Chain A
Amino acid sequence: MSLLPFFQWCYATGIGEYIRNSAWLFPVIEAVHLLGFGLTLGAVLIVELRLLGAGLSRQPVSQLAANAQPWLLGGIALMFVSGIPLFLSESIKAYYSFAFWTKMTSLFLVLLYTFTLRRRITGTDISTERPVLVRSLALMSLCLWFGVAWGGRWIGFS
């Protein structure tokens, strides 16, 4: 089963067409999308750096994660709210873009990690018991987020 008909349907939506017909709408929404990513990464960074033993390394992991949580959710929400109209406006291009699929795969994996494994890691003191494992996961998470950023930027070059 191909997803192409769905992508074509997305492309044909009124929102998609409205954005395509505007000179400034796409860039403005894209800029908001980038701000949402920055906010997300800020919230991710303080926790992931802490798990790596850097940044705010004197603070308890659980407390930092709790502090960052509302900003993480807000950043992700902003990325989705702005990302969906962007996608609608160029979904057919996205379908044929390697960068788009790299981005979506990375995003899916990193969100899965963030809301399952990482939730358990930050909820307990496992980071002191299994430092190598936890550090590897934190590093993997940052790499996946950079994959999201790379894919996102590279969609524009394809």
Chain B
Amino acid sequence: MNWSRARNNFHHGAPQLGVLVFGGAMSLLAFFSRMGESSWSTSLHESQYAYSIIESLHVWTLAVFFGSIIMVDLRLLGLTMRKVPVTEVAGRLLPWTVGAFVMMVITGSLLFSAIPLRSFQNIFFRTKMLLLIAAGVNVWLFHSGIYKKVWEWDLHAIPPKRARIAGGISLVLWACIIVSGRMIAYNWFDCDRQPQSDLINFLTSCNPTDEGH
């Protein structure tokens, strides 16, 4: 692997991180740089069909995932299926959501592994990962909070405010995750597209003086 290149990708403002790399602790940049040089990654990246087929699988599972969670969220907002108990909507649709989500993670990881370093430095990829964490927190807060008392409002046409908020936040977060995911392919903040502002180069760990990226 190319150590100097990995090191050069660091922003000047973080010299300690470079020390860590050379101290032996594998930094994420170096790790993804090495991953990108593996034969698995390059063959997937250069494959004529595999990459596009995985992309298609990612889009199909996205449709099932997003489609099903939209309907659950809209029920939480009291905007559809008002006569159907909330537990029934969640219980019957969420298995599809979860199944599709697992497939999305698998196909998404494969897509990432084909272009690891560039994706990791992609500001839209980073946004997407942070939003995914936020969406996970929202799921956890909902299931450990108001949903524990769902038997009190299971049949309500319009669920209580806290459930509506969770549903609304979920809708907005997943929409933003999909938007940022689609942006990854059109990264106009790519390290190679200099000049970028210092803030952008900091947020993407890009080194604008590094020609060989």
- How many Å from the CB of B176 to the closest CB on chain A? 10
Whole-angstrom CA separation of A38 from B71 in the bound complex? 10
B59 near A64 with CB under 8 A, answer: no
Interface readout for A38-53 with B: 1 if CB under 8 Å, 0 if not? 1111111110010000
Q: Is the interface of A mostly helix, strand, loop or mixed?
A: helix
Judging by beta carbons under 8 Å apart, are B179 and A45 in contact?
A: no
Stretch at the interface among B13-21, B39-47, B80-88, B131-139: B80-88
Contact A35 B67 (CB under 8 A): no
Q: Mark B174-213, 1 if CB is under 8 A from A, else 0.
A: 0100110011011010000000000000000000000000
**Using a Cβ cutoff of 8 Å, how many contacts connect chains A and B?**
105
Q: Is A145 an interface residue (CB 8 A)?
A: yes
Give the contacting residue for B66; candidates A41, A46, A63, A145; CB below 8 A: A41
Question: Which chain B residue shows the least CB distance to A24?
Answer: B188
A15 to B84: give the CA distance in the assembly, Å: 44
Question: What residues of chain A lie closer than 8 Å to B63, measured between beta carbons?
Answer: 37-38, 41, 145-146, 149
Mask, B15-53, CB within 8 Å of A = 1, is 000000000000000000000000000000000000010
- Rounded to whole angstroms, the CA-CA distance of A145 and B67 in the bound complex is 12
Chain B minimum-CB-distance residue to A35: B175
Q: Mark B66-103, 1 if CB is under 8 A from A, else 0.
A: 11111100100000111110001100110010000000
> Which residues from B are CB-within-8-Å of A39?
67, 70
Contacts of A23 in B (CB 8 A): 186, 188
10 A-B pairs closest in CB distance: A42-B67, A38-B66, A41-B67, A27-B186, A42-B70, A31-B179, A31-B182, A41-B63, A23-B188, A42-B71
Interface residues of A (CB under 8 A from B): 23-24, 26-28, 30-32, 34-35, 37-46, 49, 54-59, 63-64, 67-68, 70-71, 145-146, 149-150, 152-154, 156-157
